[in-house]
Structure 1
Amino acid sequence: MTTQTQTPILNPPNILTMLRIAAIPLLATLLMSPERSAGFWAAAVFALASITDWLDGYLARRMEIVTVFGKFLDPIADKLIVMAALIMILPFGRVPAWMVLIILGREIIITGLRGIASSEGIVIQASDLGKFKTIFQIVAILGLLLHYDYNWFFGIQHPLLQVNMHNVGMFYLWIATLLTVWSGGDYLFRFMRVIAR
């Protein structure tokens, strides 16, 4: 297996992670406009960035590339793009501020706890709850970015064929918020148990 010291920082997984961070200013710029088209393109950028999140992990495993830089940057990139999307849609009233506070607060607290654990040489693995939380967050944010009614059957105008993407986004955001609290509590419990040893 390729060791951390032998692997250059500029490898395909890390480049994808850096591209995800580079997409944040573009996403923020698009979300400064309340126009429907801007939301659509913002959703497209967010979707592509989310795909790179999966792809960089896949490539890292497939190519057996592990770097300290990649381990640090990948979760930071995930959190930054989620935070950027949620904060930028707050002024348009598309998402409750208290939900954003819970989601962002959890990420800050868990990142801090991970830093403390790492400084002590302790690795606390991410749980499946955290992975499900991320999936629901991504789907929720895509819905909230699209926001408007869409006709999904060849553009035919009929109430039964319309989907309100804001409602879809809020449905998944409720689930994501519950998973955020649950996974945060789970991580805190495991952290306290390991530190107590």
Structure 2
Amino acid sequence: MALLTPPQRPRIWNLPNQLTASRFVLAVVLFVLIAAERWLWCLIVFIVAAFTDWLDGYLARKQNLVSPLGRILDPLVDKVLMCGVYICLLPIGVQQGWLWPWMVTVVVARELVITGLRSWMEAHGAHFGADWLGKLKMGLQCAAVIAVFVAFLAPEVIAPASAFFAWARDVLIWTMTVVTLLSGLQYVWKAAMLLNA
């Protein structure tokens, strides 16, 4: 009689988690590149990092490789990447007048508060995953960063369009900030509703 083998759990250090770890390394490299004002490399590294964010989630779901480590590590690295980028861009953004400390405070505070709130809620058995506004927030944060790097490159590559890219950067940063704030408020409201249910 053949013995039944129990279903195997996903390996902790599987491919999606390796991609997540590589994104952390890319984030550190990106912070150094921002400090050095190497904007073309900043753009390339950020796009690669954003792609790994999509790819690790896709592979984890497609190949049934979702793991407890991945559920913790993936959003943590995302927050390190996004918060770190905006913090690193703050000095030059203030100098040039397109990014302000209160905007970065909104980004960082939202991530810290919601991360803590999500952890507490899920520890008490409540589902507290990302909704459409949270996903829109992430998309706008990425788009705004890309617009910043393109705006830096535009005078050297496509000078006639540099004013347009600077305008697009400003619009995206303001839109991202508003949506980030609204997303945070929505999560707090959602948590309050769950607690009162």
- Smaller-chain TM-score bracket: 0.7 to 0.9
Q: CA deviation at 1:147?
A: 3.2
Deviation at 1:4, TM superposition (A): 9.8
Query: Is it true that 1:168 corresponds to 2:181 in the alignment?
Result: no
Q: What secondary structure sits across from 1:147 in the alignment?
A: helix
Within a 5 Å distance, the mapping from 1:1-197 to structure 2 comes to 6-34=9-37, 38-93=38-93, 94-148=98-152, 150=154, 159=160, 161-162=161-162, 164-197=164-197
Q: Kindly indicate whether the alpha-carbon contact (under 8 Å) linking 2:151 and 2:162 is maintained by their aligned counterparts in 1.
A: no
Once residues 97 and 108 of structure 1 are traced to their aligned partners in structure 2, the CA distance between those partners, rounded to angstroms, is: 16
The structural deviation recorded for 1:166 is 3.6
CA RMSD of aligned residues (A): 2.2
How far apart are 1:145 and its partner, in Å?
Answer: 2.7
CA distance in 2, matches of 1:51, 1:196: 39
Q: What is the SS of the residue equivalent to 1:9?
A: coil
CA deviations over 1:88-122 (Å, ceiling 9, x no partner): 11111252111111111111110010111122122
Contact 1:148 1:164 in 2 (8 A): no
2:3 aligns with none
**Structure 1 residue 22, shift from structure 2 partner:** 1.1
Scaled by the length of structure 1, what TM-score is found? 0.87
Q: Secondary structure at the match of 2:142?
A: helix
Query: 1:164: how far off?
Result: 4.7
The answer to whether the Cα contact below 8 Å between 1:39 and 1:147 also exists between their aligned partners in 2 is no
Q: Given residue 13 of structure 1, which amino acid in structure 2 is its aligned partner? A: P
Partners of 2:31 and 2:135 lie apart in 1 by 25
Using the size of structure 2 for normalisation, the TM-score is 0.87
C-alpha distance 50-4 of structure 1, shift in aligned 2 (>3 A):
farther
Residue 131 of structure 2 aligns with an amino acid whose one-letter code is: S
Aligned length: 188
Moved >4 Å (runs of 4+): 161-164
- Identity, in percent, stands at 32
Q: CA deviation at 1:156?
A: 6.8
Structure 2 CA distance for aligned equivalents of residues 79 and 4 of structure 1: 33
User: Unpaired segments of 5 or more residues in structure 2?
Assistant: 1-5
Q: List gaps (5 residues or longer) in structure 1.
A: none
**1:76 & 1:92 partners in 2: Cα distance?**
26
| Mapped partners of 2:52, 2:10: distance in 1 | 20
User: Whole-Å Cα distance in 1 between the matches of residues 8 and 123 of structure 2?
Assistant: 20
Aligned-partner SS, 2:154: strand
